[in-house]
Structure 1
Amino acid sequence: MAYSKTFLEQVETAMKQSFSGWNFEQLRGRVKEDELDWSYREWVKESLKQRTVLDMGTGGGEFLSSCAPFRGKVYATEGYEPNVEIAQKALAPFGVSVRYIEDDDNLPFSDKAFDSIINRHESYSEQELARILKPGGTFITQQAGGDDCKEINEALSLPLNTEFAEWKLEVAVDRLVAHGFSVEAKRKAFPKQRFFDIGALIYYLRAIPWQAPGFSVERHLPQLDHISQEIKKNGYFETTQHRFILKARK
């Protein structure tokens, strides 16, 4: 199958670009997301004022460092090992202790350690949350649901990730309630996301491989070319995000 020179150049460039932390600067101007009708920063601002705070899945510390300085003692966890050193360097000036974790069910903290826990797009164990939160403590999480950007999978002829396929607000609420939490607030949304060049989509999939398990540029070159043709025709490739947020109290 013959591919255009422009298409192959975009693919090659995307494959050479490096990704670190949780920094999507390479996609600025190349991907557009509709704004959520809530602000994660506003939801967690009171939580960050507590005496003991945990940020789960801090990435490279980009968001947490933007919230400094802090009133109390703040900890952060990160499960992607290359990000840990990046986060430590970003957060050390603010007194944040970053811990590498491998198991959601075995967090390196004592019982009833935290007044508040925040979490954006990170997996978690309800049982561990109940263990490490103080009585009356709060847990706020923003999550990507199981239908997130399913158009990508459809275009690549790949199934949705079975690990997250059933993940949605109602399931998250039920599981927290089953572990003794009361859910005080909740929202969900399905904003649009547009990719303006095929290289941006490839970069995105390299950064978030769990979106489409089994994807490889070489194996899916025909599908990528088809998406590229759609972008050329319409100006973009559109997907639908699946987001929800909730606040729970122990």
Structure 2
Amino acid sequence: MTGLTHQYRLVIQKAVKKSSSLLEKRKLSYMNDYLAFPTSMTFNSLSDEEQHNRSELLRHLTSEFNRPSTGWNFSYLKGRMEEQLNLLPWDYEATVKNLLPNAKGLLDMGTGSGEFLASLNPLPPDTCATEGWAPNIAIARQRLRPFGVTVTAITDNDVRLPLNDARFDLIINRHEPYIVYEVHRLLKRGGLFVTQQVGEKDNIELNKLLGAPEHLGYREWHMEQACSELQKAGFTILEKKEAFIETKFYDVGAIVYYLKAIPWQVEDFTVEKYSEQLVNLHHKIQKEGFLSVQSHRFFIMARKDK
């Protein structure tokens, strides 16, 4: 931090102590926090060493952004990002495995790279999958071909899947958007729909810290809303649960890699576009040890009765 910035912060901190207005205290505290990290407002007054460190950081973040990734494999972030998914009060994988022996037809909506579906082998004789993210489609097809699984590529504009009515006993869906009446069409009467969804509040702290608009893809999306839609379509809700769990990031490069992999969280995310905010996050993590955000998840098991 430059000497001038340090002097400004000392003045602000003294003013906070003397101020009797709560609103004024908040404004002054915000200014103090703002000056704590180098931003475009203070960049010109950075020392040569600080400017060099900032440039090196942004080069490193750009390399993280450009790093190739395959599927939804976040093993690269092991030790750098910690998702406490084991604290969810349900077990999606165990639930699906328990239901498989009674299913002759299975559809995995949004199979990703096919890792989870492949892990369920032996699969029902009529097993299909869909995937909408282009980088995953070829990977999923290659992985699932030995199991006789057909992977259908879909787009956001597809309102009807090229699959026959009442074909499946079981439809599973983890973190994939769906059209409720299409799920109803594809299930046999008495068939089950099991889904774990990402809720509307997921990782919202990242958007706020970056000054980015909230992601629009989740709209008003929470457990009760999803249950209401399913019931209106003719489903009976057998089980429902919702949870907020902590995710920790231990370096800002992990955040960059993560946001590149989930492009719907921050639309048009690039290091260049959010360089100042990323520098701020780097200093915040250095100071506090990690950045904590909340993951929003909910689980529903529903049966087609009508």
TM, length-normalised to structure 2: 0.78
1:163 Cα offset (Å)? 3.0
Q: Is 1:172 the equivalent of 2:205?
A: no
Alignment of 1:97-108 (within 5 A): 97-102=150-155, 103-108=157-162
Q: Over aligned residues, Cα RMSD in angstroms?
A: 1.4
Question: Any unmatched runs of 5+ in structure 1?
Answer: none
1:69 is aligned to 122
Alignment of 1:83-122 (within 5 A): 83-102=136-155, 103-122=157-176
Asked whether the equivalents of residues 10 and 198 of structure 1 are also in contact (C-alpha less than 8 Å), the reply is no
Aligned-partner SS, 1:248: strand
Aligned-partner SS, 1:239: strand
2:209 is aligned to 155
Q: Is 1:8 the equivalent of 2:58?
A: yes
2:286 is aligned to 232
Question: Any unmatched runs of 5+ in structure 2?
Answer: 1-42, 44-50
1:78 is aligned to 131
Partner amino acid, structure 2, of 1:95: G
1:104 Cα offset (Å)? 4.6
Aligned mate of 1:37, from 75, 89, 94: 89
Aligned mate of 2:200, from 137, 146, 157: 146
1:169 Cα offset (Å)? 0.5
The range that moved more, 21-30 or 178-187, is: 21-30
Aligned-partner SS, 1:89: helix
Instruction: From the CA coordinates, give the structure whose radius of gyration is larger.
Output: 2
Aligned mate of 1:20, from 70, 76, 101: 70
Asked whether the equivalents of residues 65 and 270 of structure 2 are also in contact (C-alpha less than 8 Å), the reply is no
CA distance in 1, matches of 2:258, 2:100: 30
| Distance of aligned partners of 1:104 and 1:136 in 2 relative to their CA distance in 1, 3 Å threshold | farther
Asked whether the equivalents of residues 185 and 246 of structure 1 are also in contact (C-alpha less than 8 Å), the reply is yes
1:20 Cα offset (Å)? 1.9
Partner amino acid, structure 2, of 1:30: R
For these two proteins, the number of residue pairs brought into alignment is: 250
1:24 Cα offset (Å)? 1.3
1:248 is aligned to 302
Aligned-partner SS, 2:163: coil
Asked whether the equivalents of residues 235 and 302 of structure 2 are also in contact (C-alpha less than 8 Å), the reply is yes
CA distance in 2, matches of 1:235, 1:63: 33
1:60 is aligned to 113
CA distance in 2, matches of 1:45, 1:7: 45
Aligned-partner SS, 1:141: strand
The range that moved more, 67-76 or 221-230, is: 67-76
1:185 is aligned to 239
Instruction: Answer 1 or 2: which has greater helix percent.
Output: 2
CA distance in 2, matches of 1:119, 1:128: 13
Asked whether the equivalents of residues 185 and 247 of structure 1 are also in contact (C-alpha less than 8 Å), the reply is yes
CA deviations over 1:6-60 (Å, ceiling 9, x no partner): 5234303202311221211211111001122221101211333310000000011
Partner amino acid, structure 2, of 1:204: Y
Alignment of 1:191-230 (within 5 A): 191-230=245-284
CA distance in 2, matches of 1:8, 1:217: 7
Aligned-partner SS, 2:130: strand
1:5 Cα offset (Å)? 5.2
CA distance in 2, matches of 1:5, 1:235: 22
TM, length-normalised to structure 1: 0.95
